[in-house]
Structure 1
Amino acid sequence: MAVTLYSLGAAEEVTGSKHIFEVNGKSYLVDCGAFQGKRAEADRKNRNFGIETDRIEAAILTHGHYDHSGMLPMLPKNGYKGNIFATSATRDIANLIMMDSANIQARDAVYLKKQAQKKGEIFDWEPLYNEKDAIQATNQIVGISYNRPMTIGDGITLEFYDAGHILGSAIAFVTIQDGDKEIKIAYTGDLGRKNKPIIRDPALIPAADYIVMESTYGDRRHDSTHDAMERLAEVAKRAIKNKGRILIPAFAIERTQELVYYFHMLVDQGIIPEIPIYVDSPMATNATTIFQVHPECYDEEIHEAFIKHHKNPFGFNSLHFTTSVNESKALNDHPGPLIIISADGMCEAGRIQHHLINSIEDPNTTVLTVGYMAQNTLGRRIRDKEPEVKIHGQWYKRNAAVEEINAFSAHADYTECKEWLDAIDTSRLKKIFLVHGEPKAQTAFKKYLGENGYSNTEVVRYGQTYETE
């Protein structure tokens, strides 16, 4: 039995997860994410799919985030007619993400064409895919519950374990059987963290021969939740005192709902007074509805302490969801203090860019980053406190304060990844392959794992093939 592994994305980089395992010449795709970064580079990488779709037997989706699901519509667009396996919650979230991306691309095409015409330039950019492609991709997703083995190919069994990252996220555990020979490969997708609100802790998986593991925070540790709550309260109190605004670029899935939960707890405990919170993201509004219909993903604490206590487990009196562009624009004239939570989490698209244009030069504004910011993104430049940033082709002075709280990250840091490895059965583990991380973080993580008993660890390089034993 010949089994080969390789990656066509998220190899020595964080976004654009796209991994292949090939069994006796048949290819299986794990995740099909969009690369995020400089516009021209992202467009080039996302158009270069890397594999002919007629070579793909089946596709697996670990979770719905854009950098894991964003290029799925390219599969049916390029002729793929097979199944895409995911949990039911991931199917719903991925549908939301893909449709939103199709809409953004369509709007970008119109906007950029107008800009080019004003400059007398030729414009020939086309969206990667449209809504029809996104709908077709969703139609091809087959929902599988956690811990329900499913045959996805000749001698290939897939079982999902809860990754504890976002709603519906999964570790894809693949068993490849050929006669008496058996190989087990675990793809962590994005590995979550213990004791996060709303969703369960990452599950422990059976013994695997190979683990393809994320390494986003391979050189960074997260703040404690207690310290983060104190800092969140400080930022809120400062905004209240200055009658300013807090802009939080946050992914519409999980992070938004989690932040709402934490602000609710601070108000509920009397630590901060009520402050208007606006979730200005149609996707986040729809995602919150998806959360409400997937209680199978909740942890016990949410069931007991929150859901039974509130009709809406993700809201309270000071929370408002904007439903139109006009409502979003009206926030520009809204007096402070207020909090605006808006996507995109890396500030590369969406309504957050318009709020930044309106407020980033105001010293009474605080931009609060609460998640990973990839290299060459607007979010990364703001997080790094660059004095000027370019948004929609215009330069703006960054007079706003910038705060970063890492505790809200949905990714396990390097110590949490090791703790998860220590807790699972590694009796048959032959190698750990590191993906989904920047080179500096991966080098540090590989060294750390080697010092802690996991010496056979390799950083996956783009396009390089790896043979199993």
Structure 2
Amino acid sequence: MKISFHGAAREVTGSCHLIECGGKKILVDCGMFQGGHELHDDNAAEFGFNPKDIDVVLLTHAHLDHCGRLPLLVKRGFDGEIIATSATRDLARLVMMDSAHLHEEEARRHHRHGERGGHNEPLYDTMDALDAVDLFGRNAAYRQPIHLFPGITATYFDAGHILGSASIRLELSENGRRKVVLFSGDLGPQERPLLNNPVPPDDVDVVIMETTYGDRDHRSLEASVEEFYDAVNAADARGGNVIIPTFALERAQELLWFLRDGMTKGRIRRSMAVFLDSPMAISATRIFKRHQDVMRPELRDQFREGKDPFDLPELHFTREAQDSMALNRIRSGAVIMAGSGMCTGGRVRHHLRHNLSQADCSVIFVGYAAEGTLARIIIDGAKEVKLFGEMIPVRAQIHTINGFSAHADADDLRHWLGQTGTPERVFLVHGEARAMKAFAETLDVPEIEMPTVGQSFDL
């Protein structure tokens, strides 16, 4: 039995790991590389294995960097089963369809401008995404073993990252040898308002774990919420807007919850207009309401009592492009939440174009920004940025509040790993090199690996 790494190896995106055991090939995640347009070639490259040889895909959760290349995998010949939790299935369908649409739009744009190169053809299209959706088979329930093949069993555990997210325990037997291998997936922090805490199994031999924030701890959630309210109120007092680049899954719903809670407690003006300018986030919010069973008990109770924890007095869902464009005529008093969270595309770039140069406005970043993304460039202090071919001065107040991250920080990661028993070997993935190295130095594990893309290890 062996494992090989085909993404998220010394980088934060593109999760894709291959287990081989008993003549079967099991892929854990198949995600997009994200960060900039130059990654198109990385996403279009060969996987490092033949998709036709993969027997089953186990999906940890529905973020694009974990499920975004599934349609390409299918396009190139995979026809096995995809297994995920019920909530992940619903969210992944939404994410993959949106991604296919974006790839089609990009290809059309390149074709219109007469540009040459691989961008003239979409990486995959809507039909490929639908074909991937059709391959979703059994729904995984937390802590319920799924028999995959003789000698191979998978069990999903709540990872607390986004709705339906999971860590996956694989029990592998081959030629009289047995190994228990645990894939962390992306892990959530402790004590979030919407989801349960991540709790892994305690009998693991090998762990493959994320290290996104392996080199730092987040500010406390309470302090982050207060900073968020202060930033919103300050922009409101100046007469400006608040732009929040927002991840559609989890972050948007959590921010709606905090805004509602702040208004209820008098921390934010109740009459403030809030625009959720993201068709994906709007649909994801509906999916959240459909899967109350995997939320915190308090949230389930609110829904049962007929109270919508995501509703606000002046909340407006903006689905149509023309309605999104109309938001750019609003000069003050609005909170505009729009994708994408790293500002690599989507409607938020238009809102930045119209608000970033306004000193009375604020831009609030509430999540991870990978190197090379527009979000990271702004966070790092750029005085001007290029948007739609135009140089836009950065005069708005810039706030970075990492306490809202859906990723566990270094302390949470160590706490999670400490619950897995006494693993003999840990593979660190899904993190920048400095974060992995810093995290590795704090571990007391016999063997620690930081694999590179394409690297293979015997288990």
TM-score range, shorter chain: over 0.9
Does the Cα contact within 8 Å between 2:30 and 2:67 map onto a contact in 1?
yes
Q: Distance in 2 between matches of 1:331 and 1:388?
A: 22
Query: 97, 100, 123: which is aligned to 1:99?
Result: 97
* Structure 2 partner of 1:438: 432
Deviations 1:127-171 (A, max 9, x none): 110111111111111222111111122321111000000000000
Superposed, 1:145-160 pairs within 5 Å as: 145-160=141-156
Q: How many Å apart are 1:349 and its aligned residue?
A: 1.3
TM value normalised by structure 1: 0.94
Does the Cα contact within 8 Å between 1:35 and 1:46 map onto a contact in 2?
no
Q: How many Å apart are 1:21 and its aligned residue?
A: 1.1
Query: 346, 349, 368: which is aligned to 1:350?
Result: 346
1:144 correspondence with 2:140: yes
Amino acid at match of 1:211: V
1:464 correspondence with 2:459: no
TM value normalised by structure 2: 0.96
1:203 correspondence with 2:203: no
Q: Distance in 1 between matches of 2:335 and 2:343?
A: 16
Deviations 1:56-84 (A, max 9, x none): 11111000000000000012211111001
Give secondary structure in 2 for the equivalent of 1:448.
coil
Does the Cα contact within 8 Å between 1:104 and 1:350 map onto a contact in 2?
no
Amino acid at match of 1:388: E
Does the Cα contact within 8 Å between 1:47 and 1:128 map onto a contact in 2?
no
Superposed, 1:22-33 pairs within 5 Å as: 22-33=20-31
Q: How many Å apart are 1:309 and its aligned residue?
A: 5.0
* Structure 2 partner of 1:269: 265
Superposed, 1:35-434 pairs within 5 Å as: 35-114=33-112, 116-117=113-114, 121-122=115-116, 125=119, 126-142=121-137, 143-178=139-174, 180-274=176-270, 275-304=272-301, 306-308=302-304, 310-422=306-418, 424-427=419-422, 429-434=423-428
Amino acid at match of 1:283: M
Q: How many Å apart are 1:457 and its aligned residue?
A: 1.8
Q: Distance in 2 between matches of 1:342 and 1:457?
A: 39
Does the Cα contact within 8 Å between 1:46 and 1:71 map onto a contact in 2?
no
Q: Distance in 2 between matches of 1:35 and 1:379?
A: 16
**How many residues were matched structurally?**
456
Deviations 1:250-282 (A, max 9, x none): 110000000000011111111121211100000
The runs of 5 or more residues in structure 1 that have no matched partner are none
Amino acid at match of 2:284: A
Give secondary structure in 2 for the equivalent of 1:399.
coil
Give secondary structure in 2 for the equivalent of 1:368.
strand
Q: How many Å apart are 1:24 and its aligned residue?
A: 4.0
Q: Distance in 1 between matches of 2:110 and 2:349?
A: 16
Q: How many Å apart are 1:10 and its aligned residue?
A: 0.3
Give secondary structure in 2 for the equivalent of 1:9.
coil
**What is the root-mean-square deviation of aligned Cα atoms in Å?**
1.5
Give secondary structure in 1 for the equivalent of 2:6.
strand
Give secondary structure in 2 for the equivalent of 1:402.
strand
Give secondary structure in 1 for the equivalent of 2:258.
helix
Deviations 1:169-191 (A, max 9, x none): 00011001236421110000001
Q: Distance in 1 between matches of 2:445 and 2:300?
A: 37
Does the Cα contact within 8 Å between 1:366 and 1:400 map onto a contact in 2?
yes
Give secondary structure in 1 for the equivalent of 2:55.
strand
Amino acid at match of 2:94: L
Q: Distance in 2 between matches of 1:242 and 1:443?
A: 43
Deviations 1:84-113 (A, max 9, x none): 111010010000000001111112222233
Q: Distance in 2 between matches of 1:416 and 1:6?
A: 26
Q: Distance in 1 between matches of 2:169 and 2:82?
A: 15
Does the Cα contact within 8 Å between 1:370 and 1:408 map onto a contact in 2?
yes
* Structure 1 partner of 2:32: 34
Does the Cα contact within 8 Å between 1:12 and 1:460 map onto a contact in 2?
yes
Q: Distance in 1 between matches of 2:26 and 2:134?
A: 19
The runs of 5 or more residues in structure 2 that have no matched partner are none
Q: Distance in 2 between matches of 1:270 and 1:385?
A: 33
Q: How many Å apart are 1:123 and its aligned residue?
A: 5.8
Does the Cα contact within 8 Å between 1:34 and 1:46 map onto a contact in 2?
no
Amino acid at match of 1:384: D
Q: Distance in 1 between matches of 2:99 and 2:204?
A: 35
Query: 19, 36, 41: which is aligned to 1:21?
Result: 19
Amino acid at match of 2:126: E
